[in-house]
Structure 1
Amino acid sequence: MFVEKTGYIVSRHTREVNGHIEMSLFIKTPEGTVKVLPDRQLSVFFTNAPLQSLPNDMVGVQCSESALKSFNNEPVILVQSTSLTLHQQMINLVKRNGFSVFEEDIKAHNRYLMERKIRGAVRFIGVADLNNQTFRQARVIAGNWQPDWNVWSLDIETSVSTNTLLSIGITSRDQRVAFVVTDQENSSPIIHRFSDEKSLLLAFIRYVRKHSPDIFIGWNLIGFDLQFIDQRCQVLGIRPAFGVNGENWNIRSSDNQGKYFASIPGRVALDGIALLKVGGYHFESYSLNNVSNEILDDGKLLHGGERWQEIERLHREDLNAFVAYNLQDCDLVMRIFEKLKLIELQQTRVDLTGIPFEQTGGSVAAFENLYLPRLHTAGWVAPAWSDDDFVASPGGFVMSSIPGLYKNVLVFDFKSLYPSIIRTFHVDPLARITAQYLSSNPVKGTPLAAQLVPGFLGASFNRQQAILPSLVGELAQAREEAKRVGNGILSYAIKIIMNSFYGVLGSNVCRFYHAELASSITMRGHELLGRTQAWMEERGARVIYGDTDSLFVTLNSDLENPQKQGEQLRDDINACLSRWCNEYAQLDSHLELEFERVYERFFMPTIRGQEEGSKKRYAGKSKGELVFKGLEAARTDWTPLARQFQRALFEKIFNDENPIVYIQQTVETLRAGGYDEQLVYSKQLSRPLSSYTKNKPPHVRAAAIIDQKRAEQGLPLEYNKGRKRVYYFYQRTGVVPYESAEDLIDLDYEHYIEKQIEPIADSILPFFKTNMASLLSQQISLL
């Protein structure tokens, strides 16, 4: 009996079962999460091999002509297989015969959803089993149902000394519970006690199945918590049945990047750190303690590099305090997710692009989900993967600056510059290919220049067969509507998608990559900023700096009303852009220069030790707010003292105060030990410690000291996987790891004066006719 339901896709999977493809969609419905098996489950690819060269009697394989063409303007054959094994055998056969394959790597479930323009919400009809848990022979279409997610914040505690699981903590909107391996007596209803790891894990699996969470959230959730649980399940011989209806999860790692991925049938695992980066949030440290203190003004109950020892002591001696620590971490993560609406952001990305819910990255997947259905409708298949050498496109426009101290600097930037270039100049993979054919066979009666838009590196673009410009236009219109109704999450999600298009086209991990595409975006950006600079200077402005999509401008006349003059200059330039686009190639301009702000005071430094102006580094004050870009105050690898010193220094300078006395006082207080706790360096290891063989910078040397000490104590190494922040300081004997304030002894104050104070002060002191060498010699003579 067929049953119809509405729901939202939680996870999607394809596997081979008894020689056939089983494509399964786990869909959350108002009644619970069910498994949906669509009908006609086939694996598909295309090839330029002649139909007669392909087998026509192989059971489970069907080859037929299609209405589509390749980017080589050749007709392609559709190859459909009923099993993944046959799919791969057919790909190998075609390649051995010297022909190309197209779209062979698109997973069956992704193609099924993409071709039907299904993203998250669905309607489906299928034959239900007796428990209404599985629906077979299903047909699925896009829907509009919005779920109320059951979200669990998960955190584990482990024993560093024995590498075993101590507890699993869970918090959600209606429960707080901790599963703990312990022999301590305790009557707390939130503590579930177990005599060993195996009993705990089996009970936790049953608990997950009974209460059926939709989304697990956590901090480094997949790379640590889930990966550790999975590892212990393997060691203890437990089947990791954490999916809906007891299906196994799959925790895997990428061999070359050290990243972990979780595939859980009917559930999603979302990591807080990854979603913060998707949301555009930046922190000096992404540790839970640091982020929660900044976002919530609250933190972990224990913190510091050696807190594992206290955790193990609490586990042995004070079970309530141990559980409180475990659940506090769960609570912090839940509160961060709720305050920043991180799940709402991720669901919005799914609704816009159709990426899998668990995919926090996925710019290429998002692009293909949006582009491929439009490409097929236009009559083409995606190009084959190329073996050509990667050619990087030129980066964004960055002009040398004119260093100095300024008043009333106006900042202009182009609104969504790269998407606007795509839209205005018809930059598009299909348009580039069809322009090549059009050049050989122009439409009669129409000048070729009226059919093509010039690009760069020899590229042209067909005005009539461009997909991306209309796609960008639809997204831009949707973003304006989202802004109008105050939907900031949707507006930001659309911005992410539009801005990713350039990066995708310029990346060789995308099948549509071509140097002409990305270069036609960035080099057009160079041209536009150069023309804008010229137009501004014709109107009496002086451009002192430009970067990618922004120009920093001063006017020769005194600015009685800088806001009004900035708005007038903006309007003039936008009129120039419209005229130029029309004269250049009869194009409608979608370029828009915005007047962003006025810096009442502004500083552009020189390159250190040179007279030439620097790039991507400046400081300014706008409406009372200090802004630092690229300078020490904005960099996490400088000490807190240096960042605080620079902020205070520019506060004085921008208030027209002489900074010399402040600089001298800072040096005196530093030498007297007044800033000791602000002298700790912090820097992230970008790769495993063992891979640093030749050049070993200070943070690597500090990490090596820590791991050597741990190895001597028989403890797991701290930095053998990389991507971990190292804290260290300088004694007179050299680099020393930092663990607590008690470590700060015998500090090398002269190192900090030379490396932290002097470079910052010397960037500004020439404007006061002196330098740090002179100031320090004065202090020495006074002593």
Structure 2
Amino acid sequence: MQKLTQLQGLILSRQQRDTNTGIELIFWVKSNQGPCQVVINGLRAVFLIKQEDLTQAQALWAKQYLHADEIRPLSLSTFAQQKVVAIYNLSLSVSRQLQQALTSQGIPIFESDIKVSDRYLMERFIYGSVNVLGTITRRGQHYFCQNPKLTPTKNSAQISTVSLDIECSPEQELYSVGLTVGDEKQNRVIMVGNALPQPAPYDLLNIEWVENEVALLIALQNWFQVNDPDVVIGWAVGNFDMRLLAERAKLHHIKLCLGRDHSALQWFAHQDSSGQGTVRLNGRVVLDGIEQLKNNSRHFESFSLESVSQSLFSEGKLITEENSQFVDKGLEIKHQFEHTPLKLAAYNLQDCLLVERIFDHAKLIEYAIQRAELTGLALDRRGASVAAFTNLYLPLLHRSGYIAPNIGDIEAQHSPGGFVMDSKPGLYDWVLVLDFKSLYPSIIRTFKIDPLGMIEGLKEPIEDSIEGFRGARFSRDKHHLPTILDSLSLAREEAKKANNQPFQHAIKIIMNSMYGVLGSSGCRFHDTRLASSITLRGHQIMIETGKFIEKLGFDVIYGDTDSTFVWLRDCDSLAFADEKGKILATRINEYWQQKIADEFSLPSLLEIEYETCFSQFFMPTLRGSDSGSKKRYAGLKTTEQGSEIIFKGLESVRSDWTELAREFQETLFEKVFKQHSVTQYIIDTVSQLKAGHLDAQLVYHKRLRRHLDAYVKNVPPQVRAARIADAQNRKLGRPLRYQRQGRIAYLITHNGPEPIEYLQSSIDYQHYIDKQLKPIADAILPFLPGNSNFEALVSEQMPLF
């Protein structure tokens, strides 16, 4: 039997369960030698209580015939300086019973929500990857190791991936499963049906024909056992594909053994009636493309596979609303399965390939690995900024003699948001944008803002601590968060040098989330004094920076969170603008270095950069007001490589405006920035709209964020359209599409909003003129020569219509 004594790899999955000899942890690790199942036996669950509550706790447990396996006083304290004891149990279920007995009587418990598997890793500073030391034996296709020593390391193993997508009937009976692995020759579609000749363009499809749904599930199971992928990717793959596979296997009373240890695929519905759930696939990880894009801070008008792939590649699915002969896509799939199964197989495979391409383009697997290695979060964990903070911070806090507070121990209070300056509206030539690099992380690092640091700082003499806001003071030398951010900042610089984009991006998101969790009531370390010491310091820095710039003779026209917009009155070239931008950045950095040294005796880690130059820039007013707007502008960004128009907060970048509005605004500003007349363009657009030439651009696409019957008092247009659509679907015996959220396309007609699939009334062109064109034109026209407005401009031309 082949044996090893050490291997290193990436943690793919983690599991904890009760056994007769204690809690067992099961980690699946992918190494360069192959996958390894690591089992840790005999562990105990732990939670903490205050020492002063121990006598009462023991009395309560005795009444219920409960007992702890061990009670150990610790040299740790709460933030209120109360000593604690640890309550250990070999059973998760008994530990929960002990906790319930205490909470029923209002006795506080601490750190009870941390899973044994997570605590085991975080207390050993194991994040993402692990070094396994022990007796490692070969078991079939994988290695096995029991009770080894685990230590931190970095991942170097190659990860194998399969993109999986299923097709099914409207009644959710399986038709086919597509599987792609990055190799065209190995890609496959497992499809129910009799084998057919495969003429072009289907001659290259690798189709495995099976007799029925049960045979399809068995063939899929065999494929997994032979090909043994580490990662399964897909689109809504957890809550649709994996859920449906598990449900169909259960219906047929078979175990669908897709796990690496030949265990069955399991899907557990969440208790919140959201329709979401959790996949358990031992030894493998399931990564959903939608969740990974959101983790990656990617934003799209819609997260449908069609929308994202069109946005990234101008290529999409083979069945769309436009090319389907049926209103409901499910009916189109059923028709293809019954009449043109080769066409359906191609569609199935195309979906797999699109997902594979998106993951590759956005480097989503690499990002998930980097995030796991930075924070210790499981690869498939969605969101979880608070959990990431806890993983990084809690072990360090323990070593400083404290335990973590509970969520809600400190009453949630509002903290000010980022600084936003009242803008000076207008149309400008040559505007510079200066950005503070990672402002909030830099404030935390510079002023030592930290949960532990505040507890210790408030104990110190005022003259020895660093003053924060709202009564906060921070220790100069007892803290952890600034050190964590120092390490992340250094790692980010190294990632930049290595041009490791996923690593850079992961670090940036994690660093920027550190303020957010301190300001979130869902974080155990939430305290308005901490969050306010960050944001209000940011306000101070931005206000003083603006005043400093103006003392140098420049005009500040806007400021937002970490960006300052500076107008160069006498600029005549990009070279002049670039020179002034660099000089300004240098002077501002010198100012803050001196000021922080003088007032706080601290080194400044603030760094402002000359970021962007706009050769033309427009800052609008608030609608119906002379006051400047906030977070809304357009500019012609100019570099030596060329120019591009940037829109921020305006209609062209908002998903709830029509294509007409976006195209109108983009063309309008292109003409304005080129100093061309816009009069004829506006008149022509209104004329074409009224003539019906722009109908394809008038469709609203909006998301239904609640169940359709949940809209009672306020019924927006998209809901009215969705109700019309589903009333018609019901009448025609078609599946209801909009009852449980979804996305609807509709037009505004003379009879109100109507869905495009059941359009009956004529389009209300005046609505589009008043609500889509007029607001865009009137934002810019007053700043142009002639000072016209949309109403006057159009009414003057009425004889033309």
TM-score by structure 2 length? 0.92
Hey, what's the Cα distance between the residues in 2 that align with 1:480 and 1:123?
Answer: 26
Write the mapping of 1:293-692 to structure 2, written as runs, cut at 5 A.
293-304=310-321, 306-386=328-408, 389-438=411-460, 442=461, 448-449=462-463, 451-558=464-571, 561-623=576-638, 624-692=643-711
Distance 2:627 2:497 in 1: 44
Q: Deviations 1:361-409 (Å, cap 9, x if unpaired)? A: 2211211111111111212111123255422211111121111111111
- Look up the SS of the partner of 1:298 in the other structure: coil
1:32 offset after TM fit, Å? 3.4
1:70 aligns with 2:87: no
2:742 aligned with 1:733, yes or no?
no
Equivalent residue number for residue 140 of structure 1: 150
Counterpart of 2:51 (choices 39, 49, 52) is 49
1:445 corresponding residue in structure 2? none
- Farther-moved stretch of structure 1 (410-419 vs 87-96): 87-96
The Cα of 1:179 is off from its aligned counterpart by 2.1
Name the CA distance, whole Å, in 2 between partners of 1:744 and 1:663: 29
Number of the residue aligned with 1:234? 250
Q: Is 2:203 the partner of 1:181?
A: no
Q: Of 104, 107, 113, which residue of structure 1 is paired with 2:115?
A: 107
Secondary structure of the structure 2 residue equivalent to 1:23: strand
Identical pairs, percent: 41
What is the TM-score with the length of structure 1 in the denominator?
A: 0.94
- Residue 279 of structure 2 corresponds to which residue in structure 1? 262
Tell me if 1:274 matches 2:288.
Answer: no
Amino acid in the other structure paired with 1:26: W
Counterpart in 1 of 2:724? 705
The answer to whether the 8 A contact 1:399-1:547 is kept is yes
Does the CA-based 8 Å contact 2:182-2:356 persist in structure 1? no
- Alignment check: 8 A CA contact 1:5 1:29 kept: no
Q: Kindly state the Cα deviation for residue 146 of structure 1 after the two structures are TM-superposed.
A: 1.8
Distance in 2 between the 1:225 and 1:172 partners? Answer: 17
Aligned pair in 2 of structure 1 residues 388, 464: CA closer, same or farther (>3 Å)? closer
Q: Take 1:258 and 1:245, find their aligned partners in 2: how far apart are those partners? A: 28
Can you list the C-alpha shifts for 1:306-346, whole angstroms capped at 9, x where unaligned?
33322211101122111011001101111121122111111
Contact persistence 1:38–1:140 (CA under 8 A)? no
Q: Which amino acid aligns with 1:598?
A: C
Letter in 2 for 1:48: K
Distance 1:717 1:139 in 2: 55
Q: Could you say what secondary structure the match of 2:338 adopts?
A: helix
Deviation at 1:648, TM superposition (A): 0.6
SS in 2 for 1:730: strand
Distance 1:270 1:311 in 2: 25
RMSD, aligned α-carbons = 2.4
Instruction: Find the partner of 1:124 among 132, 135, 142.
Output: 132
CA distance in 1, matches of 2:99, 2:774: 63
What is the CA-CA distance between 1:437 and the residue it aligns to? 2.6
Query: Which residue pairs with 2:5 in the alignment?
Result: 4
Report the secondary structure of 1:380's partner residue. coil
Kept in 2: contact 1:4–1:123 (CA 8 A): no
Cα 1:744–1:563 shift into 2, 3 Å: farther
- What amino acid is aligned across from residue 47 of structure 2 in structure 1? F
How far apart in 2 are the matches of 1:752 and 1:728? Answer: 13
1:713 deviates by 3.7
Find the aligned partners of 1:128 and 1:60 in 2 and give their Cα distance.
34
Given that residues 346 and 360 in structure 1 are in contact (C-alpha distance below 8 angstroms), is that contact kept between their aligned partners in structure 2?
no
Conserved in 1, the CA contact under 8 Å of 2:24 and 2:41? no
Which moves more between the two structures, 127-136 or 494-503?
A: 127-136
CA distance in 2, matches of 1:236, 1:436: 64
Partners of 2:232 and 2:46 in 1: how far apart? Answer: 33
Q: 2:128 & 2:87 partners in 1: Cα distance? A: 28
**Unmatched segments (≥5 aa) in structure 2:** 322-326
CA distance in 1, matches of 2:122, 2:777: 57
Contact 2:385–2:513 (CA under 8 A) maintained in structure 1: yes
User: 32, 35, 56: which one pairs with 1:33?
Assistant: 35
Cα separation, 1, equivalents of 2:789 and 2:138: 84
Q: Are 1:45 and 1:79, in contact at CA under 8 Å, matched by a contact in 2?
A: yes
Give secondary structure in 2 for the equivalent of 1:763: helix
Partner of 1:15: 17
Describe the shift of the 1:776–1:82 C-alpha distance in structure 2 as closer, same or farther (beyond 3 A): same
Tell me by how many angstroms 1:542 deviates: 1.6
Distance apart, 1:429 and its partner CA? 0.7
1:690 Cα shift? 2.4
In structure 2, do the counterparts of structure 1 residues 261 and 584 end up closer, same or farther at CA, with 3 Å as the change threshold? farther
User: How far is the alpha carbon of 1:127 from its aligned partner?
Assistant: 5.2
Gaps (5+ residues) in structure 1? 443-447
Return the match for 2:262 from 230, 235, 246: 246
> How far apart, in 1, do the equivalents of 2:429 and 2:278 lie?
51
After superposition, give the CA deviation of every residue in 1:673-728 in whole Å (9 maximum; x if it has no partner). 22111111111222222221221111121222222223334444322332x32211
1:517 aligned partner, one-letter code: L
Given that 1:540 and 1:555 are in contact with CA atoms closer than 8 Å, whether structure 2 keeps it comes out as: no
Aligned AA for 1:4?
T
Change (3 A) 1:644 1:410: same
Quote the Cα distance in structure 2 between the aligned partners of 1:117 and 1:9.
14
CA contact (8 A) 1:42 1:80 kept: yes
CA drift of 1:558 comes to 4.4
Separation of aligned partners in 2, 1:497 and 1:776: 51
Bigger CA drift: 215-224 or 11-20?
Answer: 11-20
The one-letter amino acid paired with 2:475 is: N
Secondary structure of the 1:578 match is: helix
Pair 1:86-2:101 in alignment: no
Shift of 1:611: 1.1
Counterparts in 2 of 1:523 and 1:257: CA distance versus 1, 3 Å: farther
Q: CA deviation at 1:780?
A: 1.7
Residue 313 of structure 2 aligns to which amino acid in structure 1? L
Residue identity opposite 2:605 in structure 1: H
Contact 2:21–2:42 under 8 Å retained in 1? no
After TM superposition, the structure 1 stretch with the greater mean CA deviation from structure 2, 401-410 or 693-702, is 693-702
**Separation of aligned partners in 2, 1:583 and 1:259:** 54
Across the two proteins, how many residue pairs are aligned to each other?
770
